[in-house]
Amino acid sequence: MLRTPTGGAGHGTAAAGERAMSIGTVLLQLRDEFPEVTISKIRFLETEGLIEPQRTPSGYRKFSPADVDRLAQVLRMQRDHYLPLKVIREHLEALARGEQVALPPGGGQGDPGDALRDQDPGQATATRIGRAELLAATEATEEQLEEWESYGLIVPAAGGSYDAEAVTVARLVADLGRFGLEPRHLRAVKAAAEREAGLVDQVVAPLRRHRNPQTRAHAESTARELADLSVRLHAALMQTALKATFH
């Protein structure tokens, strides 16, 4: 049973005497239990309405201890029970009403693909699924998956499992295929992504090699931020190029 977390429904308001924390401090607090959580992930959950940190007049996020408790609760429901955000939101609303919520053991509430769809697109996740689950989540055939893997578009982890990015890529490749774009056509897209990743790595490499663990953690969050900016720039340039073709 889950019980109402500290702070109840007012998770976005810090009580008197509570120490407000920056998003970087929150990240470090969560790292022991959730080593792969990133600033991008926290912001994603805020965008989805799962957490509501206060903002300073200059726009910086400030998290109360109750915010951090709630955030950890959301991450546990995703990690341990494969719950999609819609279900997590319903559970949290029930908790805010003072109700007790029984969670299914080990992802008993259905499709891991549903939970993976609710992951931050720019963020790696510890949640992994098997080959059969990937095929079910993407509605792909074994032959399609083998072809995607042969072109390096989908890469299984050690042991043959797949992460959230594999689910996202598989769905996008399948969607593009309906327009006649085959995996061989997408090699240039993959190569461009790898070049952009190389640029990001050049920026964060000195931080990643640092002895201080906090600095190494900052390297990962910086890489995520740079990746997010790169994706947004790519989208803007794509829109600009498309407009030019129609004018």
In whole numbers, what is the pLDDT of the chain averaged over residues? 80
Residue 105 has pLDDT above 70, yes or no: no
Quick check: 12 and 68 in contact, CB under 8 A? no
Q: Which of 173, 120, 114 is nearest to 149 (CA)?
A: 173
Neighbour tally for 180: CB within 10 Å: 7
Q: Give the residue with greater pLDDT, 150 vs 165.
A: 150
pLDDT in tens, 22-37: 888 898 889 888 887 8
Over residues 86-97, mean pLDDT: 86
Structural tokens at position 225: 């931020």
Residue whose entry in the numeric block shows the structure tokens 């070049």: 195
Torsion, Cα 134 138 144 146, to 10 degrees, reads -20
- What is the CA 135 to chain-centroid distance, rounded? 20
Domain 23-107 has CATH 1.10.1660.10: yes
pLDDT in tens, 177-202: 989 999 999 999 999 999 999 999 99
Can you give the pTM of this predicted structure?
Answer: 0.50
For the chain, which residues make up each domain, given as ranges?
23-107, 128-181, 185-247
Torsion, Cα 154 159 163 166, to 10 degrees, reads 10
